[in-house]
Structure 1
Amino acid sequence: MLRLILRRVLVAIPTLILVSMMVFMLQKILPGDPVLAMAGEERDPAVMNYLREKYHLNDPLPVQYAAWVGQILHGDLGKSLRTDVPVKKLIAEKLPVTAQLSVMAMIFALILGIPSGIIAAVRKGTAVEMGANMAALSGMSIPSFWLGIILILVVSVHWHLLPASGYVPLSENVWLSLKTLLMPAFVLSLAIAAYLMRHTRSAMLEALSADYVRTARAKGVPAYKVVMRHALRNALMPIVTLVTLLLGELLAGAVLTEQVFTIPGFGKLIVDAVFNRDYAVVQGVVLCVAAGFIALNLLADVLYIVVNPRLRHS
């Protein structure tokens, strides 16, 4: 097992290097010049030359990339080109917000997706399964930004039940913090719940047709025990790793939801940075998200090895 885990780690390292190169190069091809925004309205040539020298913008791209990687290896992600605030500080402020939103969305997705997948598998060929499949298809098809706007109009504007936008940290008010994220977490969870439902249904159908399930039924084991103790236990093995991967997608895919609900997380941070041509912030945030996604993929591989004994000796 340790050999397999080590192999996954060795694969993750060059992947992270490749991602860092892509993040750096894609940022450079964006239109616009950040120096023009930093130099002010007068755009004094002397000031612009100073800024280009300060941020190594006159150096060749390989030299810029090497300097950037060197800073990262020393724990320095640079400073915002507009506010001069360290990128690490910005990430430290925004990461808890997006992490809380993602965890709440995953909780909603687990509550909605896994039980509906189990029910759809047990009631195969009935109207219940058809309804679950239609709901899953709707969850994957409805745009999150459209659903967010509709919920704001109905729940916040007309019913006055939940805040329409904003965010309150958990350290200030736990209940109000949860209330501000209930709607965005629900919106963000629907597509994930749909994927979980379909995968859970497929895994449960395969497990319910296995020999050990037929043997348990032949012995007179009650139906709920057959489903929950025998079939579900084995069907959950691929679901565990899928949840880890989907959590990475939540961290990276909350951009639109955070914009709609004006949540000051990673999504709003990177959108503002792109519009302002703030290279350092974009590079730091995207690299952080990519590193987190790679780490979650590695965790998914490790969890699959842990929950599947057959892989431990391969």
Structure 2
Amino acid sequence: MLKIFLKKIIELILVLFFVSLTVFFVFRMLPGDPAQMRLGLSPTPEALTALRMQMGLDKPLIVQYVKWISNLLHGDLGNSMIDGTAVSKMLMEKIPKTFELAVYGTIMSILIAVPTGVLAAIKKKSWIDRFSRGIALFGFSIPTYWLAILLMLLFSNWMHWLPAGGYVSINESFTGHIKTLILPVLTVGIINAAQIFRFLRSGMLEVINQDFIRTARAKGLSKWMVIGKHVARNTLPSLITIIALNFSLLLSGMVVTEQIFAWPGLGWLTIQSILSRDYDVVQGAVLISAVIIVVINLIADLMIVLFDPRIRHTR
């Protein structure tokens, strides 16, 4: 177990190193000058040169990268090039909002996908299975932005039940907070439920056809005993993997949902920073997203090893 943990930690460090290289150098290849965007459309050459020196943009890229990494190792993510706000402060304001959306969306997707996936696998080729697969195919195929717009039109424009977007703090209004939360959570939950359903159903069908399941049935165990004790236990590692992967991707990649519903989370901040060429904010947001993905996948891998001793002995 310790050997696996150390191996994963080394992989985590290498992934974060390459992510830092990629986000730093690739983003600086894009057109646009943050100093010019800060000064306006027609700055004087003297003012532009002075601001670039102040922001450190006149130094070679490798020098800028080394300085950024050095500051990062000391816990300093830098400051926004637009208004000077600390990047760490900006991220700490946005991450809880994205985390809240991801948690509720994941819970909803599990509540939808797990019962329907289990039922579809047990009732293979029945109308329940065909209906569930049809709904899952719809959820898996429809683009996130299209589903978000459909829900917005239905519940906001036509029925006038929910606000079309925005964010209301729970401290301001509990009811208002819940209302602004419903549509983005529905969007996230439906899309991810379709993915979890497909993996769960196929995983259970694969286990059900194994020899040890037929042996368990031959011993006289009831159908639900076989499903609960043997099938579910052997399907659990793959289910943990897909849930952890979806959750980490939600935390780091909920850009479309947050943009459509004007949800001021990490994805929304990343897009706004890219548009304004705010290098330090984008670097901090992408790096934090990478950390989230890698750490959650590390936790998921360790959980799988605990639940499935066979993996422990093969590594």
Q: Please tell me the TM-score bracket, short chain as reference.
A: over 0.9
Q: Deviations over 1:195-240 (max 9, x none)?
A: 1111111111122223343233334433223222331122112211
Amino acid at match of 1:257: T
Q: Who is 1:72 aligned against?
A: 72
Query: For the aligned residues, what is the CA RMSD?
Result: 1.6
Is 1:169 aligned to 2:169, yes or no? yes
Q: How many residues align?
A: 314
Q: Matched residues in 1 for 2:251 and 2:261: separation? A: 16
Segment of structure 1 superposing worse, 207-216 or 62-71: 207-216
Q: Who is 2:311 aligned against?
A: 311
Is 1:89 aligned to 2:85, yes or no? no
Amino acid at match of 1:242: I
Q: Who is 1:223 aligned against?
A: 223
Report the TM-score, using the length of structure 2 for normalisation: 0.94
Q: Who is 1:295 aligned against?
A: 295
Contact 2:144 2:187 (8 Å CA) reproduced: yes
Q: Deviations over 1:253-276 (max 9, x none)?
A: 211111111111112111111111
Q: Matched residues in 2 for 1:107 and 1:186: separation? A: 11
Contact 1:97 1:264 (8 Å CA) reproduced: yes
Cα displacement (A) at 1:175: 4.1
Report the TM-score, using the length of structure 1 for normalisation: 0.95
Cα displacement (A) at 1:42: 4.9
Contact 2:252 2:292 (8 Å CA) reproduced: no
Q: Helix, strand or coil for the counterpart of 2:85?
A: coil
Amino acid at match of 1:152: M
Q: Deviations over 1:160-207 (max 9, x none)?
A: 222211112334444432321111111112222111111111111122
Contact 2:77 2:88 (8 Å CA) reproduced: yes
Contact 2:216 2:226 (8 Å CA) reproduced: yes
Contact 1:241 1:303 (8 Å CA) reproduced: no
Is 1:268 aligned to 2:268, yes or no? yes
Q: Matched residues in 2 for 1:173 and 1:302: separation? A: 39
Matches within 5 A, 1:114-263: 114-263=114-263
Is 1:50 aligned to 2:47, yes or no? no
Amino acid at match of 2:128: V
Q: Matched residues in 2 for 1:221 and 1:177: separation? A: 48
Q: Matched residues in 2 for 1:33 and 1:41: separation? A: 11
Q: Matched residues in 1 for 2:140 and 2:169: separation? A: 30
Segment of structure 1 superposing worse, 160-169 or 25-34: 160-169
Q: Matched residues in 2 for 1:174 and 1:6: separation? A: 44
Amino acid at match of 2:233: R
Contact 1:162 1:180 (8 Å CA) reproduced: yes
Cα displacement (A) at 1:20: 0.3
Segment of structure 1 superposing worse, 275-284 or 42-51: 42-51
Q: Matched residues in 2 for 1:174 and 1:212: separation? A: 51
Q: Matched residues in 2 for 1:9 and 1:219: separation? A: 44
Contact 1:242 1:300 (8 Å CA) reproduced: no
Cα displacement (A) at 1:41: 5.0
Amino acid at match of 2:214: R
Contact 1:192 1:246 (8 Å CA) reproduced: yes
